Amino acid sequence: MTDEAELETLRREIAACRICRDAPAKGPVHRLPHEPRPVAVISSSARILIAGQAPGLRVHESGLPFDDASGDRLRSWLGVDRVSFYDRNRFAIVPMGFCFPGYDGKGADLPPRRECAPFWRQRVMSAMPQIELVLVIGQYAQAWHMAGEERGTMTETVWAWREGLLSGRSPAVLPLPHPSWRNSGWLKRNSWFEQELLPYLQERVKMLLS
């Protein structure tokens, strides 16, 4: 387990990061168009990590991850209330990009900033060796945490969740769809997710929080 003082240093370094504003990977034209506000919950004791994509505007403004309808759905999937969810001794929450990336031309959130994971992610994961289960949400988290075990589509990757757990990877990884309302249709079409995966997830979470 990493010393809490070392983690606090890491948290401060991340909070001060301005790479995407000052040294964007693809040159000045791809500079982050607003002041970076990294949002990540890094823990010395949580056994569960939620690996998402990147904060949206609301999280950028509040600094609180998953403080929206998606978060409510994620908490119901996990079977936990807000108090447990925001207890950093219980859950670490580290997206693939720590800062709100802005919008594309159609008004949709851009992908996580490409600078973030190469610079920070291995260091963050190394600082949390106690993590036993990573809940991977979205293609960018799946690509990093499942490294070659992800399938061609999100549905195929989540469908194969048991194989991922049996692969012996440490920490274990469990792929999830994004809990956004945009995936309500997907949830209806894939009833196995609520009937088979969620009961397992809730049992595993309960065990890891006990």
State which residue, 39 or 158, has the beta carbon closest to ligand SF4. Answer: 39
Among 1, 8, 9, 18, indicate the residue that binds ligand SF4 (CB under 6 A): 18
Q: Is 20 in the site for ligand SF4 (CB under 6 A)?
A: yes
Q: What is the dihedral of CA 202, 206, 208, 210, to 10 degrees?
A: 180
Q: Which is nearer to ligand SF4, 19 or 187 (CB)?
A: 19
Of 42-50, 84-92, 113-121, 160-168, which part binds ligand SF4 (CB under 6 A)? 113-121
Note the maximum CA span of the chain.
49
Of 52, 56, 203, the C-alpha closest to 117 is 52
CB 205 within 8 A of CB 79: yes
**Shortest distance (Å) from residue 135 CB to ligand SF4:** 20
Residue 157 and residue 142 in contact, taking contact as beta carbons nearer than 8 Å: yes
DSSP state of 68: S
Instruction: Kindly tell me which of 37 and 151 has the beta carbon lying closer to ligand SF4.
Output: 37
Give residues in contact with ligand SF4 (CB under 6 A): 14, 17-20, 36, 38, 97-99, 113, 115-116, 119
